[in-house]
Chain A
Amino acid sequence: MVLGGLHLAGLAVALALASAATSLLAARWPQALRVLGLPLFGAAGLAALASGLIALLGGEVGIAVLPLGLPWLPWRLRLDALSGLFLAIIGTVSFAVAIYGPAYVRSFERGRDSIAALGTFTGLFLTGMLLVVLADDAFLFMVAWELMSLSSYFLVAFQHESAANRRAAFLYLLMAHIGGLAILLGYGVLAAFGGGFAFESMRAATLSPLWATLAFSLAFVGFGMKAGLVPLHAWLPEAHPVAPSHVSALMSGVMLKVAVYGFVRFVFDLLGPPHWQWGVTVIAVGSLSALLGVLYAMMQNDLKRLLAYSSVENLGIIFIGLGLALVFLGTDHRLLGTLAFVAALYHVVNHALFKSLLFLGAGAIHHSAHERDLEQMGGLLRRMPWTGLFFLLGCISISALPPFNGFVSEWLIFQAALQAWQLDSGVLRSLIPVASAVLALTGALVAATFVKVYGIAFLGQARSRHVRRARRVPFGMRAAQGLLAGLCLALGVLPTWVLGAIDRVPRELLGGGLRQAAAHGWLWLTPISSGTASYSAPLVVLLLAGAAGVAIWAFRRGTVRRVRRCDAWDCGFAPPSPRMQYTSTAFAQPIRRVFDLVFQIDESVSTREGGPPRYQLAIGDRAWGLLYAPVGRWVESAARQVVRLQSGNVRVYLGWTLATLLVLLWIIS
Chain B
Amino acid sequence: MDHLLSQVTAWGLVLLQALLYAVLGPLLVGWVRKVKALLQNRRGAPVLQPYRDLRKLLVKETRVAHTASPLFRAAPYIVFVSTWLGAATVPLIAVDLPTAAIADIIVLVGLLALGRFFLALAGMDVGTAFGGMGASREMLVSALAEPAMLMAIFTLAMGAHSTNLSTVIGHQLAGGLALRPSILFALGGLTLVAIAETGRIPVDNPATHLELTMIHEAMLLEYSGRHLALMEWAAQIKLVLYGALIANIFFPWGIGESFSPGSLALGIGAIVAKLLLLGGALAIAESVLAKMRLFRAPAFLNLALLLSLLGLLSHVILEVGT
**B contacts with A: majority SS:** helix
CB distance from A302 to the nearest CB of B (A): 19
Contact assessment for B136 and A582 in the assembled complex, using a CB-CB cutoff below 8 Å: yes
Contact assessment for A532 and B161 in the assembled complex, using a CB-CB cutoff below 8 Å: yes
**Bound: A451/B120 CA distance, A:** 7
Contact assessment for B316 and A421 in the assembled complex, using a CB-CB cutoff below 8 Å: yes
B132 CB-CB contact with A under 8 Å: yes
Q: Which residue of B lies closest to A558 (CB)?
A: B58
Contact assessment for A568 and B67 in the assembled complex, using a CB-CB cutoff below 8 Å: yes
Chain A residues with CB below 8 A from B277, complex form: none
CB distance from A666 to the nearest CB of B (A): 55
**Bound: A548/B161 CA distance, A:** 33
Contact assessment for A563 and B62 in the assembled complex, using a CB-CB cutoff below 8 Å: yes
Chain A residues with CB below 8 A from B317, complex form: 426, 429-430
Q: Which residue of B lies closest to A436 (CB)?
A: B154
Contact assessment for B82 and A544 in the assembled complex, using a CB-CB cutoff below 8 Å: yes
Chain B residues with CB below 8 A from A316, complex form: none
B residues contacting the other copy or chain, number (CB 8 A): 84
**Bound: A522/B117 CA distance, A:** 29
B204 CB-CB contact with A under 8 Å: no
Q: Mark B285-322, 1 if CB is under 8 A from A, else 0.
A: 00000000011001000000100010011001100110
Contact assessment for A551 and B81 in the assembled complex, using a CB-CB cutoff below 8 Å: yes
Q: Mark A569-583, 1 if CB is under 8 A from B, else 0.
A: 100000010101110
A498 CB-CB contact with B under 8 Å: no
CB distance from A207 to the nearest CB of B (A): 32
Chain B residues with CB below 8 A from A433, complex form: 151, 154, 309, 312-313, 316
A237 CB-CB contact with B under 8 Å: no
Partner of B127, one of A411, A552, A578: A578
A440 CB-CB contact with B under 8 Å: yes
Q: Which residue of B lies closest to A454 (CB)?
A: B121
A281 CB-CB contact with B under 8 Å: no
Partner of B129, one of A382, A548, A581: A581
Contact assessment for B150 and A591 in the assembled complex, using a CB-CB cutoff below 8 Å: no
Contact assessment for A590 and B136 in the assembled complex, using a CB-CB cutoff below 8 Å: yes
Chain A residues with CB below 8 A from B154, complex form: 414, 418, 433, 436
Q: Which residue of B lies closest to A583 (CB)?
A: B132
Contact assessment for A581 and B62 in the assembled complex, using a CB-CB cutoff below 8 Å: no
Chain B residues with CB below 8 A from A400, complex form: 110, 113
CB distance from A430 to the nearest CB of B (A): 5
**Bound: A548/B298 CA distance, A:** 34
Contact assessment for B59 and A531 in the assembled complex, using a CB-CB cutoff below 8 Å: no
Contact assessment for A443 and B126 in the assembled complex, using a CB-CB cutoff below 8 Å: no
Q: Which residue of B lies closest to A526 (CB)?
A: B101
B241 CB-CB contact with A under 8 Å: no
Contact assessment for B67 and A461 in the assembled complex, using a CB-CB cutoff below 8 Å: yes
Contact assessment for B65 and A437 in the assembled complex, using a CB-CB cutoff below 8 Å: no
B140 CB-CB contact with A under 8 Å: yes
Q: Mark A388-401, 1 if CB is under 8 A from B, else 0.
A: 00001000100111
Partner of A560, one of B60, B64, B126, B147: B60
**Bound: A531/B171 CA distance, A:** 12
Contact assessment for A531 and B162 in the assembled complex, using a CB-CB cutoff below 8 Å: yes
Chain B residues with CB below 8 A from A443, complex form: 113, 146-147
B222 CB-CB contact with A under 8 Å: yes
Chain B residues with CB below 8 A from A414, complex form: 106, 150, 154, 163
**Bound: A430/B319 CA distance, A:** 12
Contact assessment for A399 and B139 in the assembled complex, using a CB-CB cutoff below 8 Å: no
Interface residues of B (CB under 8 A from A): 58-67, 69-71, 73, 77-78, 80-82, 84-85, 88, 101-104, 106-107, 110-111, 113-114, 116-117, 120-121, 123-129, 131-133, 135-137, 139-140, 142-147, 150-151, 154, 157-158, 161-164, 167, 221-222, 225-226, 229-230, 294-295, 298, 305, 309, 312-313, 316-317, 320-321
**Known contacts A426-B316, A455-B123, A560-B61, then 8 further A-B pairs from the complex at CB < 8 Å, ordered by chain A residue:** A401-B117, A441-B143, A441-B146, A459-B127, A460-B125, A555-B77, A558-B58, A564-B61
Nearest first, the 9 closest Cβ-Cβ pairs linking A and B are A582-B132, A455-B124, A460-B127, A448-B139, A440-B147, A444-B146, A568-B65, A429-B316, A590-B140
